Structure 1
């Protein structure tokens, strides 16, 4: 299913997810910036987990909208290869946007910690902590986090290429519309 354009909600979710992914990733540097036992280190991880849960909720909303509305048709100027790469890239971004929070939730629980969402509610770990499993999940979570940054960078570069070189509307489809 294709639509004429992205809705303002879809655009807002796109940019909110971008900001959350970058912000959550930056919070992981709390380990390097703060010593063990420093309350700021714990705060960075508390925010990382809370924002990760927010990311998960917004990703579910974004996926639901994508399934309900589809995506606008790609410009006819795009080659078959460009269309294939664009579709595979978007699919990979969605897979990572779903996988990263799921892995983060599992990591938190396998470390023996409860999930908390900005202190509003807490979900205790449903199973016993297991450091071995937690370590494996952490590696996969980190790998996916690095992969999404690389893929998002390629996504942004492609959008800029379309805007400045291809001179088509690919980038503008996701920008807020200016009212005349």
Structure 2
């Protein structure tokens, strides 16, 4: 699910910038834009973008909390297996 958010959020952002109807730049290039602005679509995309971003924050926080729960409450080696090994 996190990987889907990594793809969906930038795509929604690009479509939102396109529909604003103003020239915009990315990586030093002028990006394409709509000849007529569609602010209703921009508002809809902005609400989706914001909702998915908040969902992403929640999922990442839940993932971190689950890793800590495995380490401190269940005392299994789940978190230790994710950490890089110490070289001695």
Same fold (TM over 0.5): yes
Of Structure 1 and Structure 2, the greater helix share is in 1
The structural deviation recorded for 1:101 is: 1.0
Q: Give the secondary-structure state (helix, strand or coil) at the position aligned to 1:166.
A: coil
Unaligned runs of 5+ in 2: none
Unaligned runs of 5+ in 1: 1-91
Structure 1-normalised TM-score? 0.43
Give the corresponding residue for 1:111.
20
Aligned residues: 86
RMSD of the TM alignment (CA)?
1.8
Q: Tell me the alpha carbon deviations over residues 3-61 of structure 1, each in whole angstroms, 9 at most, x when there is no partner.
A: xxxxxxxxxxxxxxxxxxxxxxxxxxxxxxxxxxxxxxxxxxxxxxxxxxxxxxxxxxx
Q: Distance in 2 between matches of 1:109 and 1:178?
A: 48
Work out which of the residue numbers 89, 92, 95 in structure 1 matches 2:4.
Answer: 95
What are the residue-to-residue correspondences of 1:125-164 with 2, within 5 Å? 125=33, 127-128=34-35, 129-164=37-72
Inter-CA distance 174–121: structure 2 relative to 1 (3 Å threshold): farther
Structure 2-normalised TM-score? 0.80
